Structure 1
């Protein structure tokens, strides 16, 4: 476990919504190294929504463009409707994110680094626990609603 790992006993349960198998596998390995639990990996919108509803993850890392098209926004709206799930976009297509961020907490731009993912998840965990950090981590852009709440 690395220094950036989840605190003992407090791992985040994370759904990975990514259609590129190597990226999804890399994320799963990184999440494991950080001490988090991957509750599922989905490569299309219907699978992502079904797995999200079945597992109620703490966090969903959602790509905008999936195998069935630019459906990540629909996935974000569906998953963010459950207050137990915090959605974070991970995309190289940030221009496709609507002004309201489809209920997502923010976005990590691809290509991402392990450090950005780790610091963003730590930030999300702090916000979920009512202990937000003073500054957003580098490489993470908060949604307008998230930025206004700080």
Structure 2
């Protein structure tokens, strides 16, 4: 017997999940004294040395916003600015403090989800991962098309 999905029910559940996920993200960010834009930039830079242009392209934000945020992170000691041989370009990399903060942020998230999913089998966790990945892929493809 084929089951049909109630789209309104599905959208409600996704909305609730999104709200709960956003809440726990805020709690973890507050614990680490971070904000979303800082974590986003730290995750983009990672272990690389990058130019402002590279960071801007990956972040898909305007250059002035990224420049302001990066300058703030430099002042906080989370990002190190290095002037290249060509003085017109600077390279940015994470400080050790930023790497430690980001690692702790990731560990806190992992700990939260391990606790949240502690009653789940490995198969259920895998299926959840597959379905979330599939939903993300489908939503990404839908953005490329005019469906509304």
Q: TM-score, normalised by structure 2?
A: 0.23
Which is strand-richer, 1 or 2? 1
Q: TM-score, normalised by structure 1?
A: 0.23
Which is helix-richer, 1 or 2? 2
